[in-house]
Structures are given as structure tokens and as C-alpha cells.
Amino acid sequence: MKKTADGLLEYEPGLPSLQDLCVRAIAKHLDQVDSFGDISAQSLNRLCRIISKMRVLDESTLSLFLGAEKNAVTLYDCTKISRSGLQRIVNECPQIQALDLEYCGRLDSSGLIDFGSRLPFLTSLRIEGAFLVKDSAWAMLFRTCARRLTSLKVRFVGFGPVATRALAIHCTQLVELRISECIDFDDDCLAILAPLSCLQSLDLARPHKPMSSQTTARVIRTVGSQLRVLDLSGFKDIDDSFLLNALDANCQNLQELYLNECNGISPAAMAQFFASQRGKAMVANKGYRRVGLERCYMLTDSVIQELVLHSGATLTWLNINSSGTSQYVLAEQTSGCVNLEELDLSWVRCTADAVLEDVLATCKKLETIKAYGCPDITAFAPKRPGLRYIGRECDTL
């Protein structure tokens, strides 16, 4: 067992590997490490994640993750790294193609502009928490990077109409775009994204301002045919017309769909959408691999039934947190997702040990079940090697 950041306990199956033990030991004694030496990119990434969680990533340890040979730099917590420290990325890693920075509240406009002008091979950029960067600085970055920028992910930044317009004009080869929880991004900004026809992944989750169903539909009609991933979580104003006339008609290649907290859509329309998608599938087993319907209080038995009929053979990840489905349908239908690996049943009050028995009897690949707010899932819930429960109330007692 281990205690998570929120104080709950999770079950860790089996013993940690030797590699895991080494990674944890290095992170614990980081102040005595001069260099990681010959280490895989995967292990380096895990080290950085652990070190960031321990809040020991600072300017003295930053050099461990930089180097002239690096083609990608990922830092999960830049809270203790100053503006001059972030400048070291440009000076010491001139060849990087992908740059991911989280909690970079000290990054300012000039620092962001330097990323574009002094990193000539940069094609992928993810920035979170850079609240000091002005809208105009983003625009200047996009003018500099232009067509070479293929992936952009921003969250908790000042991203408004000036930045959005420059993005749509100059970065026409964008394949992946995420603009999430940006306070200046509004319905007018959303409309500007329509010309980005090369997009395969579009994540606009949890906007701070209302997004109209009409504008969202206009964008989807333009970019939808190429999309593989779509996240409209928190778009509370999209309605039945958007789902049936825009999403259903224009997004035939989706593999991941997230409509969390989209409660403007009726249960009947949601069921009709999945039924229509099933009818349009041109090949067998063409369905969604990941579906998020968290806090969609309109979820009913018919929605779950149509979803499983459409994507039961392909789903590997499903989130129906807070749905109102019945115990019978939950047991019978969810068990039809034979390739499911992770299932979020939090606050689905009908979930109980007996339901999970039926689910696990057919979902042989299931590894993670989230069960917050499900008091009827007890310590006697079914167990097997490799399966873990997250959020069980009995684990906190």
C-alpha cells in the first residue's frame, strides 16, 4: 500500500522492480549526484517526475536534465527555477525539438520569445502556468516558429485573441493543439481556430468563458474530418444539435472522445449519437479507444448500452464518473468491454462488489478501477494479480 497526495491509499501489486528501486534511491539522494550517466529517456523522465513531486527540482539540480545532446526537455515543476534558470535551456540545449514545462510561473514574455528565436528545431511546445507571458508574446512566438510548429499545448496562460489569430495564420501545420483553462480564451477565439484543417488532436477542455454551440459546430465542421482526439470537457452550452448535426456528421475518425461535464446534451441525443456512429462504422471493431463522460448527469442505461455496442470491442479506458446508470446495465454492459484497462466508476452509487465480479469475469485486461464515493465496494471486492483499486473508502479506515 502507498499513500497518495490526497491522503488516500492505493494498492501496489507485486514488488517494485530493481529499476524502480534505483530510481527512487537516486531521487532521494539527488544532492549527491553529479550526473546520471548513460540512462534511458524513459528512466530520466521518471526521475524528473519523482523529483518534481518531491519539490527538489531547482537551479542546482536543473543541469542534470540539460545537455547539448538533448532533443527533448521535460520539467514537471519549474516553481523554483528563475527566469535566468529557464534561459539555460536555450543556452545548453540548442538542438531540442520538444519542450515541456509545467508550473513555470517565472517565465516571462522575453523568455518565451527566446524559445522561438533561439531553438531553431523546436516543433513541439507545452507550457503550463506561465501567467506572466503576454498575449502579444505568444503571437511573436508563432510568427517565428510558423509552419515548423506541429504541437502546441498551453494551460493556465494568458492566451487571447491576438495569440489565437497569429496561431491560425502562421502555424498552419499544427497537428496537435491544446488550449485548456486559459482565462482570455473566449468564443471569438474559438471561431478563429476553424482554418487549422491539419489538426488530428484538439483539446479545449474546461474553458473559463462560455463557448456557444454554434461556434463549436462551425469549428468541428472544418477540422473534424481529420481529428483522432477531441476533448470538449466543460463545454456546458453545446446541445443536441451540435452532437447530432456537427459531431456525428464530421468526426468519423475519432479514437478518443471526452465530453466530461457537457450537460447540455440530452440522454436521448447521446444514445442516438452512439447508435448513429455504430451504423456508420465501415470496418469491424472501429470504435473509440478512450471515452470520458465524467459528471454527465444525463447518462442513462440506454447511453451506456449504445456506447458499448459501438465501442465495446475497442475501449481501453472509460470514465463514467457520477453517471446515473443502473446496477444491472453497469454489470451487463461494462463487462462487454473486453479490452478495458482502466475504468472510473467514482460516485456511481450502484457499484458494489457483486457488480465488479461480473465486470472482472470478462474484462481480463482491467488493471485500474477508480472507486471514489462508492461505499458498497468493500475490502471483499474481487482481487487478482495486477489489479488495483483507487479511492476505496475501506482503504482509508
Res. 168 pLDDT band, cuts 50 70 90: very high
Grid cell of 297 as nine digits: 448527469
As a whole number of angstroms, the distance between CA 240 and CA 264 comes to 7
- Say which residue, 15 or 330, is predicted with more confidence: 330
Q: Is the pLDDT of residue 42 over 90?
A: no
pLDDT at position 14 is: 57
The mean pLDDT of the chain is 90
| C-alpha distances in Å from residue 345, one per residue of 184, 280, 317, 322 | 34, 29, 12, 7
Average pLDDT over residues 79-88: 94
Res. 285 pLDDT band, cuts 50 70 90: low
pTM score, two decimals? 0.92
- Say which residue, 54 or 306, is predicted with more confidence: 306
Beta bridge partners of 3: 9
Residue-wise pLDDT tens digits, 364-382: 999 999 999 999 999 999 9
Residue with cell 476533448: 231
- Say which residue, 327 or 132, is predicted with more confidence: 132
Res. 87 pLDDT band, cuts 50 70 90: very high
Least confident of 17-26, 47-56, 257-266: 17-26
Least confident of 132-146, 217-231, 233-247, 282-296: 282-296
Domain topology for 266-397: 3.80.10
Q: Is the pLDDT of residue 257 over 80?
A: yes
Grid cell of 84 as nine digits: 535566468
Res. 157 pLDDT band, cuts 50 70 90: very high
Residue-wise pLDDT tens digits, 102-112: 999 999 999 99
Res. 282 pLDDT band, cuts 50 70 90: low
Res. 5 pLDDT band, cuts 50 70 90: very low
pLDDT at position 324 is: 84
- Say which residue, 243 or 57, is predicted with more confidence: 243
| % pLDDT > 90, the chain | 75
Contacts of 160 (CB under 8 A, 6+ apart): 135, 182, 184, 185, 186, 189
Res. 55 pLDDT band, cuts 50 70 90: confident
Q: Is the pLDDT of residue 3 over 50?
A: no
